[in-house]
Amino acid sequence: MVRKIKAASIYKLLLCGLLMVFMPLGLVFGVLGLMGADTVKWSNQAIHGVAALFAGPALCG
C-alpha cells in the first residue's frame, strides 16, 4: 500500500530547505554590513552596524 504525501508536509519541507539556504546567506550579509559594506538595504538606504546584523537574516528569511 502506498501512502500519499500531504501538501502540508511538502510545504514544510520546502520552507525548511529555503530557510537553511537563505538564513546563513542573510547572516553573512549582516556580518558584512556590520563591517561597513553596503550589503543590507531597506528602502534603498544602506544599513550599517549592529542593525545590519539583525536586518540581514530578517530580510533574507
CA 49 distance to own-chain centroid: 18
Domain ranges of the chain: 7-60
pLDDT 10s digits, 11-59: 999 999 999 999 999 999 999 999 999 989 989 999 999 999 999 988 8
Q: What is the pTM of this model?
A: 0.74
The gap between the terminal CA atoms of the chain, to the nearest Å, is 38
Whole-number Cα distances in Å, 48 to 9, 17, 26: 38, 28, 14
